[in-house]
Structure 1
Amino acid sequence: MSGTGLRSPRHFIVEHRCDLVERISLVEPLVDILRQEDVLNQGEYETIRAGETRAEQARRLLDAVIHKGRKAMDVLQEALWQQDPYLMKELHR
Structure 2
Amino acid sequence: MDCINATLEELDNDEFKKFQRFVRDAAFLDGQEPIGKALLQNKDRMDTADVILQTYPDNVDQIMVNVLGKVGRKDLQKQYQNKVQSKDAAASVPEVDFVNKHKRSLIQRVSNVEPILDLLTEEGIMNNEDYSNVRAEKNNQGKIRELFILLDNRGNRAKRVFYKGLEENESCLIEDLNEQS
TM norm structure 2: 0.45
The question of whether the paired residues in 2 share the 8 Å contact of 1:35 and 1:42 is answered with yes
Match of 1:38 among 124, 138, 151: 124
Aligned counterpart, 2:158: 72
Higher helix share: 2
| Identical aligned residues as a percent | 26
Q: Could you tell me whether the CA contact under 8 Å between 1:13 and 1:66 is conserved in 2?
A: no
Q: Is the 8 A contact 1:33 1:79 kept in 2?
A: yes
Any idea what the Cα deviations from partners look like across 1:23-78, whole Å, max 9, x if unmatched? Answer: 00121111011111111111111100000111101111122112211111001101
Aligned residues: 87
| Structure 1 counterpart SS, 2:173 | helix
Alignment-derived partner of residue 141 in structure 2: 55
Superposition RMSD in Å: 1.4
Q: Which consecutive segments of 4 or more residues in structure 1 shift more than 4 A?
A: 7-10
Alignment partners' CA distance in 2, 1:63 and 1:17: 11
Structure with higher RCO (Cα < 8 A, 6+ apart):
1
* Structure 1: gaps (5+ residues): 1-6
Q: Quick one: which amino acid aligns to residue 76 of structure 1?
A: F
Deviation per CA, 1:4-23: give whole Å up to 9, x if none: xxx65562111111000000
The structure with the larger Rg is 2
